[in-house]
């Protein structure tokens, strides 16, 4: 029998074997050691994929639970339900239907597909509003690039599809790595949005990985770092409610500021893992990322997946340092690559193909469950119709 306790809108179940299972309004469970503190907004780094197996709380299913623990992996939808591609000359376009990235529609579809979190990029306008947009520069057909920090909120929202049917926004274009310019469109369109709108309109069951964006090439002043971080943190504190959140940034000074500015939400340092080199040495390896985390008291690293696959032994070092590890990159859209990372001990993956990866993870959990049941002679433990809940998501 499990003893329930509700804390900050999250249900904690203290089981007979003294492990803690956790749920938020439906059976998304993860495990914590009995000594784990439970601050408001604490990060569920071991959140599992949807599975009735995690409902097991009685001690006779200890082997089953242990196997399920090993199958857990946090799935994060990249810019919602996947990034929009730009193509250089000679590249073959992917004609798969697309949804405009970093929009309410994309975030909610990722939630429906079963993502635990959605990742998106936050910048701050000239008049202090936190908005969601990935690129360093926003460009219309006039080919005059503008940084978000030089635009007002009204000017930013004038780009792209408009909320009001009687308005026509400025047509967005994107520039590929070889300089090829193309109109930025998607099969399913939606308007650009603010961070406040995301909190208000995205399904509350999905968490937010808020990447705080800065210019990737040019130096950023301390005053600009503080302006952006302050605006973002204030917006989060005002609108987050009980939503699961963690921050991330590629800027090594920004993550330190994020950690100092608040203590409620975890902060992860983003790194290319050595796949791309920068003038700032702190950005050039996973080992350097670990030093940044140690110096600033961060909770984890988000690395380009190639950096992890090229140095798999680093996963154990990261775990020894008591840090969480997530990855991003195109290879995360390959189920076999994701499974390899799960086996290595990676905590979560940021993916474009949300439904495909969520489906693969469910299959791994089910396979692991059947293997344990067949070798232990156990019956499948009872659940509260988690499979019915999954089908409704």
Spans of all domains in the chain: 3-73+362-392, 76-352
DSSP code of 341? Answer: H
Whether pLDDT at 238 is above 50: yes
Q: pLDDT tens-digit profile of 82-128?
A: 999 888 877 777 778 899 999 999 999 999 999 999 999 999 999 99
CA 205 to chain centre: 13
Buried b / exposed e along 138-176 (16+ C-beta atoms within 10 A): bbbeeeeeeebeebebebbbbbbbbeeeeeebeebbbbe
179, 185, 182, 174: which is closest to 135 by C-alpha? 174
The answer, as to whether pTM is greater than 0.95, is: no
Q: What per-residue confidence (pLDDT) applies to 246? A: 98
Q: pLDDT tens-digit profile of 151-210?
A: 999 999 999 999 999 999 999 999 998 889 999 999 999 999 999 999 999 999 999 999
12, 18, 7: which is closest to 30 by C-alpha? 12
Residue 333 to residues 46, 337, 355, 388, Cα–Cα distance (Å): 20, 8, 10, 27
Q: What per-residue confidence (pLDDT) applies to 89? A: 77
* Mean pLDDT for the stretch of residues 293-300: 98
3-state secondary structure of 237: helix
Mean pLDDT of the chain: 82
Residue 328's DSSP bridge partners are 304
Q: Provide the CATH topology of domain 76-352.
A: TIM Barrel (3.20.20)
64, 153, 60, 148: which is closest to 375 by C-alpha? 64
Residue 381 — very low, low, confident or very high, per pLDDT cuts 50/70/90?
low
Residue 142 — very low, low, confident or very high, per pLDDT cuts 50/70/90?
very high
Residue 248's DSSP bridge partners are 211, 268
Query: Which range among 13-17, 50-54, 325-329 has the greatest average pLDDT?
Result: 325-329
Residue 37 — very low, low, confident or very high, per pLDDT cuts 50/70/90?
very low
Q: 170 — phi, psi (to 5°)? A: -70, 130
Q: What per-residue confidence (pLDDT) applies to 87? A: 83
């Amino acid at each position: 029998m499990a003893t329930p306790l509700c804390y900050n809108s999250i249900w904690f179940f203290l089981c007979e074997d003294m492990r803690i299972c956790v749920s938020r309004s439906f059976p998304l469970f993860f495990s914590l050691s009995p000594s784990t503190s439970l601050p408001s907004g604490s990060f569920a780094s071991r959140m599992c994929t949807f599975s009735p197996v995690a409902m097991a709380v009685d001690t006779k299913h200890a082997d089953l639970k242990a196997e399920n623990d090993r199958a857990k992996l946090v799935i994060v939808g990249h810019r919602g339900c996947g990034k929009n591609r730009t193509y250089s000359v000679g590249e073959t376009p992917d004609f798969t239907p697309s949804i405009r990235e970093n929009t309410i529609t994309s975030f909610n579809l990722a939630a429906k597909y079963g993502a635990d979190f959605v990742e998106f990029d936050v910048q701050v306008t000239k008049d202090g509003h936190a908005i969601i947009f990935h690129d360093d520069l926003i460009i219309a057909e006039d080919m005059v690039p503008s940084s978000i920090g030089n635009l007002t909120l009204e000017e930013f929202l004038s780009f792209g599809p408009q909320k009001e049917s009687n308005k026509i926004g400025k047509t967005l274009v994107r520039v590929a790595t070889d300089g090829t310019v193309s109109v930025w469109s998607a099969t399913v369109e939606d308007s650009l949005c603010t961070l406040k709108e995301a909190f208000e309109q995205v399904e509350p069951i999905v968490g937010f990985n808020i990447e705080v964006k800065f210019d990737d090439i040019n130096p950023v002043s301390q005053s600009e770092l503080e302006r952006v971080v302050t605006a973002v943190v204030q917006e989060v504190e005002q609108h987050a409610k009980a939503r699961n959140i963690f921050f991330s940034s590629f800027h090594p000074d920004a993550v330190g500021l994020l950690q100092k500015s608040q203590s409620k939400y975890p902060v992860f340092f983003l790194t290319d893992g050595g796949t791309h080199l920068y003038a700032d040495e702190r950005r050039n390896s996973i080992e350097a990322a670990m030093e940044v985390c140690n110096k600033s008291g961060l909770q984890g690293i988000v690395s380009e997946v190639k950096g992890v696959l090229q140095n798999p032994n680093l996963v154990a070092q990261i775990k020894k340092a008591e840090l969480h590890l997530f990855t991003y990159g195109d290879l995360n859209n390959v189920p076999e690559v994701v499974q390899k990372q799960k086996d290595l001990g990676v905590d979560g993956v940021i993916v474009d193909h949300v439904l495909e990866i969520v489906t693969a993870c469910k299959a791994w959990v089910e396979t692991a469950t059947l293997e344990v049941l067949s070798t232990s002679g156990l019956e499948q433990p009872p659940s509260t119709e988690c499979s019915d809940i999954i089908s409704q998501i």
